[in-house]
Amino acid sequence: MKQQDNHINYIEFKAKDLEAVKAFYIKAFGWKFTDYGPGYTAFADSGLEGGFEKSDDPIVNGVLVVLYHANLEEIQETVLQSGGKLAQEIFSFPGGRRFHFLDPAGNELAIWSDQ
């Protein structure tokens, strides 16, 4: 499926124990998982793709909503000009690049691109 700019594309949760969370979602809902190293696992067959990032920090807001945009530099500038604040600079990961921002209410979201 073709990615669409500015659409929610992915959700990312935090978890202290990736094996326990995978076992739960497999047993309860039949989700499929793909591990990307010891600190990350992605899920599919859930209605919307997403993943779990290992975190030893207390989980306060355990979900990260990830939007898609083909041009990260362009959308980052638009986010900042619209009142958003940069939470994490653009970085690379297997499959693409992304950055994190805070909306005016303080919610952290991310935008990724495969470009």
- Dist. CA 52–CA 16, nearest whole Å: 9
Contact indicator for 62, 107 with CB cutoff of 8 Å: no
pLDDT of residue 112: 95
- Tally the C-alpha atoms within 13 A of residue 39's C-alpha that lie toward its C-beta: 3
pLDDT tens readout for residues 4-59: 999 999 999 999 999 999 999 999 889 999 999 999 999 999 989 999 999 998 88
CA 39 to chain centre: 14
- Domain layout of the chain by residue ranges: 8-113
Give the predicted TM-score (pTM) of the model: 0.77
Q: Write the CA distances from 2 to 29, 39, 58, 68, integer angstroms.
A: 26, 28, 36, 11
Identify the CATH class of 8-113: alpha beta
The whole-number average pLDDT for the span 75-100 is 95
Question: Chain centroid to CA 101: how far?
Answer: 12
